[in-house]
Amino acid sequence: MAFDPDLADRIRALLADEPGVTEQSMFGGRGFLVHGNLAITASSHGGVLVRVGPEQSERLVARSAAEVAVMGGRTMHGWLRVRPEDVRTKRQLARWVTIGGDVARSLPRKPAKRRRK
């Protein structure tokens, strides 16, 4: 399954005023990075994959429909999957974009990668 390009557009619009945002294809989806740190993706599994602080993970799972992400059979602590039906509205999506962006901004900036000629 391919990621939802409309969802990617909605994420892009929410991050439009954020400095240091880049995009790249990853995990079969479209990843949005803040200063080189992945914040959120429009997931190829539908919905979003969002970076959360490991200490936030349990609380967010208990208070929302999000689930801890599992990739390649491994539980990915600090990453949550949010289903498409739980990011339908701008308000719903903005919540997860804000959480992922806050975590990504709290991490050390990664230097820009040099392009090969």
pLDDT in tens, the chain (117 residues): 678 999 999 999 999 999 999 999 987 899 999 999 999 999 988 999 999 988 889 999 999 999 999 988 999 989 999 999 999 999 999 999 999 999 999 999 987 666 555
Give pLDDT, residue 111.
Answer: 79
Give pLDDT, residue 44.
Answer: 87
CA distance 99 to 104: 9
56 contacts: CB under 8 Å, gap ≥ 6: 99
Q: Is the dihedral of CA 77, 14, 93, 102 positive or negative?
A: positive
CA distance 44 to 66: 16
CA distance 69 to 34: 20
Task: State which residues form the domain around 25.
Answer: 5-106
Q: Is the pTM of this model over 0.85?
A: yes
Q: Does residue 96 form part of some domain?
A: yes
Question: What is the CATH classification number for the domain harbouring 69?
Answer: 3.90.1150.30
Give pLDDT, residue 50.
Answer: 97
Tokens linked to 52? 């959360």
Q: Does residue 28 form part of some domain?
A: yes
Q: Does residue 117 form part of some domain?
A: no
Q: Does residue 18 form part of some domain?
A: yes
Q: Does residue 113 form part of some domain?
A: no
Q: Does residue 112 form part of some domain?
A: no
Q: Does residue 111 form part of some domain?
A: no
Give pLDDT, residue 1.
Answer: 61
**Residue that is written with structure tokens 């990504």 in the block:** 104
Q: Does residue 115 form part of some domain?
A: no
The number of folded domains in the chain is 1
